[in-house]
């Protein structure tokens, strides 16, 4: 164990192991084993308990159906496995190996980084753009003042928050402050917005990039 200031790092690799429960009845099985209904969003984690031992439940799909990874203390692993096997009998639970799991992954079209996705692939090529928010877009802002604003300032359309500023400087070419940030696509270009930075409320025009072409 290493201690750095107020942070302690402890190697717990030998204290825990992981089981993956996948398939159409995985949610029912996990519900009965943990005595909870894990209605959690994908990739979220949840602390559950088994006989006073904490289990970490991770919602992650390795196949076509919603699945779960259970991080289990090795001290209770036999008991947890025994209960999972007993509960799983009614749903024809069976153990599978790495090759079978990989077959299910391929059938479900779930890519793995480093295998199906590399640095040579674009996001659109991989089909993973469904996980990306396309409602916002990187854009410019031409402020109606020389006053600059800080990174993180919020952008409003009326009283509705629509974006965030990422950088801002005074521009001699426009004789005003110019900024970059993310804003809802339907406001690009020419929409008039308000940028709030602390007590300041500054008016700006949303611009396509580069800003000088639109000034």
Domain at 192, CATH number: 2.40.30.110
Q: Does residue 111 belong to any structural domain of this protein?
A: no
pLDDT at 39 over 70: no
Determine if residue 132 is left, alpha or beta; phi over 0 gives left, psi from -120 to 50 gives alpha, anything else beta. Answer: beta
Both 84 and 144 in a single domain? no
Q: Render pLDDT for 95-138 as a digit per residue (tens, 0 to 9).
A: 998 888 888 888 888 888 898 988 888 888 888 777 777 889 99
Which residue's structure tokens are 């031409």? 142
> Which DSSP string corresponds to 3-59?
EETTEEE---GGGEEEEEE-STTHHHHHHHHHTS-----TT-EEEEEETTEEEEEEE
pLDDT value of residue 17: 92
Residue 112 in any domain: the answer is no
Quick one: average pLDDT of 195-212? Answer: 93
In a domain, 123, yes or no: no
Q: How many CB atoms lie within 10 A of CB 49?
A: 11
Tokens 């700006």 identify what position? 204
Answer yes or no: is 113 within a domain.
Answer: no
Identify whether 114 is part of a domain. Answer: no
**Could you tell me if 157 and 187 are in contact, meaning their C-beta atoms sit under 8 angstroms apart?**
yes
Domain boundary (36, 63, 95) is at 95
Stretch among 38-47, 76-85, 132-141 having the lowest mean pLDDT: 38-47
pTM: 0.57
> Which of 78, 95, 112 is the endpoint of a domain?
95
Enter the tokens of residue 95. 């153990």
Q: Which domain holds residue 75?
A: 2-95
Residue 110: closest CA among 70, 58, 71, 66:
66
Domain CATH number, residue 82: 3.30.1360.120
- Confirm whether 55 is domain-assigned: yes
Q: CB of 156 within 8 A of CB of 193?
A: yes
Q: Calculate the average pLDDT of the chain.
A: 86
């Amino acid at each position: 164990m290493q201690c750095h200031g107020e942070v302690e790092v402890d190697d717990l690799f030998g204290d825990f192991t992981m089981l993956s429960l996948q398939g159409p009845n995985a949610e029912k099985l996990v519900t009965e084993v943990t005595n909870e209904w894990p209605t959690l969003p994908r990739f979220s984690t949840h602390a559950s308990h088994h006989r006073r031992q904490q289990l970490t439940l991770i919602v992650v799909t390795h196949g076509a159906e919603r699945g779960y990874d259970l991080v289990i203390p090795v001290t209770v692993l036999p008991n947890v496995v025994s209960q999972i096997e007993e509960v799983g009998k009614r749903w024809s639970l069976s153990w599978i190996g790495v090759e079978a799991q990989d077959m299910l992954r391929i059938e479900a079209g779930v890519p793995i980084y480093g295998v199906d996705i590399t640095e040579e692939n674009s996001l659109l090529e991989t089909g993973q753009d469904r996980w990306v928010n396309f409602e916002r877009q990187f854009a410019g802002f031409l402020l109606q003042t020389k006053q600059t604003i800080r990174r993180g300032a919020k952008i409003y359309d009326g009283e509705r928050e629509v974006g965030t500023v990422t950088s801002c400087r005074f521009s001699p070419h426009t004789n005003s402050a110019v900024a970059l940030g993310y804003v809802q696509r339907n406001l690009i270009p020419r929409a008039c917005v308000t940028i709030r930075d602390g007590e300041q409320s500054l008016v700006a025009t949303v611009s396509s990039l580069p800003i000088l072409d639109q000034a």
